[in-house]
Structure 1
Amino acid sequence: MPVVTYTLWRLSLFAVTLVVLVWVGMGSWLAIVLAAVIAWALSYVLLGRQRDAAALHLAQRAKPGRSAPADAEVEDAALDAAERERGAA
């Protein structure tokens, strides 16, 4: 959930910035590019806590053995199955 929260905050910053730039009369493609740069800078400054929470959440999900088997175990099982098939044939 922290990743979704962080993403929604960043998208909101982009949308608000884009609306303000279009409202002041900036051209369409330039407004999009400038809104992306301004939203990036604002998110870097304002959303540090949300960014850290999202990064921690992703790091915890990436730990091996959490809910999915480690890659080495999956590879070993596939190799064992292939050797059994060759031996049976």
Structure 2
Amino acid sequence: FLLHVLPKGFHRIRHYGLLASAHAKANIARARELLAAPQPKAECNGTGADAAKPSDWRPPCPCCGGKMIVIETFERGGDRARAPPRTRAP
């Protein structure tokens, strides 16, 4: 099924359903249970010698704040060709 694809003209409502903020933790836990997904690792509390140095260099996602996964990197290309500036008619 393509449950994530909406028909033309429909809009997704992010505060309704599985990820609704009121029950998101319980819903996600139940979904993990039903899918037999492994539990997420416990977060480090930031104490000890390892707290001073970051173990993950990846930048946070600007939308959700999660760690981004680098799939591919590209070398910087040359200067992009630009059109000449428009001239104003007198």
TM-score, normalization: structure 1? Answer: 0.25
- Higher RCO (C-alpha under 8 Å, 6+ residues apart): 1
TM-score (norm 2): 0.25
